[in-house]
Structure 1
Amino acid sequence: MSGPHDFDFLHGTWDVAHRRRTDFLDPGSDWEEFRAMGRCWSLFGGAANIDEMKVPDQGWSGLTLRLFEPESGQWSLHWSSSRSGRLFPPVVGGFAEGLGTFHGDDTYDGRDVRVRYLWSGVSPTTARWEQAFSVDHGETWLTNWVMDFAPRADP
């Protein structure tokens, strides 16, 4: 069951290895790899946090605002990028048996997509985030972005 401290593992400064498809909907598209630095801090006594991801080689930054809703026991995750300057629709979900699963609806290249985020491999020294899109209402998924987190030695 999810709780207000599910994302405590992410607090601090991280080196982040990105692997992302060049076309989020094309299973045959190439993958690009790049590095980033992430920093996450807690708000609301752990029931919220913000992380900022700086990607200097590509000239953009992103952030995620995460909010825990006690009544539903679920998190809402809200992403934004300096490239767009807007909040994307949230994904909502929680953690069970060490896996965080979050779903939402969005559009990509003018197409409606179902979005899934997965958090796995969470430990004091690692974490993995994956994004996948579905164009058939969640029957099939195409993973299009993976981030592997490792604590930054020199914050």
Structure 2
Amino acid sequence: MTANDFDFLHGRWRVANRKIADIAGRGTEWVEFGARADVRPVLGGAANVDTFDAGDWEGMTLRQYDPAAGLWRIWWASTRAPGQLDPPLEGRFTDGHGVFLGEDVVGGHAVAVRFDWTAGPAPVWRQSFSYDGGDTWQENWVMRFEPA
């Protein structure tokens, strides 16, 4: 785990998304849509910022490495929640797999949030929620990245 863990993500990407349509309502209907992402290093490489364009909405992520703690923190914001920055998730990579955990409130319910990153030339990101303190997880969004 180093400040270079997310270097695989730098660049421009086409993103295939598969997401539960109503995450806040704990829905079960999946939708698919395309998006574009542009990821660049900042702060001398100890962080990166991405912009995510899904056509009718936009998002952005800040990922920052904390060398003293040996972990990454990830923040998300989007035009779907104007003026809000989601609480950070924290975690690290081991053998090309990153696990990041945090707490949030979604649809009025406290939820544990998990991001799973699989590094490589065709990265995959997965988001899961737990409503029981992490005993069980429901995957609700998958992004597959291809170079643009």
**TM-score interval, normalised by the smaller of the two chains:** over 0.9
CA contact (8 A) 1:89 1:106 kept: yes
Matched, 1:138 2:134: yes
Q: Percent identity?
A: 44
**CA-to-aligned-CA distance 1:19-50 (integer Å, 9 cap, x gap):** 00123267761100000000000012211000
**CA-to-aligned-CA distance 1:69-107 (integer Å, 9 cap, x gap):** 010010000000012121100100010121100000001
| TM-score normalised according to structure 2 size | 0.95
In 2, Cα distance between equivalents of 1:123 and 1:141: 24
1:74 pairs with one of 71, 74, 83:
71
Q: CA RMSD in A?
A: 1.3
CA contact (8 A) 1:25 1:133 kept: no
2:58 aligns to what?
Answer: 61
User: Structure 1 stretches of 5 or more lacking a match?
Assistant: none
Show the 5 A alignment for 1:1-155: 2-24=1-23, 29-56=28-55, 59-85=56-82, 86-120=84-118, 122-124=119-121, 126-152=122-148
Count of residue pairs the alignment pairs up? 147
| TM-score normalised according to structure 1 size | 0.91
Distance change (3 Å), C-alpha of 1:28 and 1:60: closer
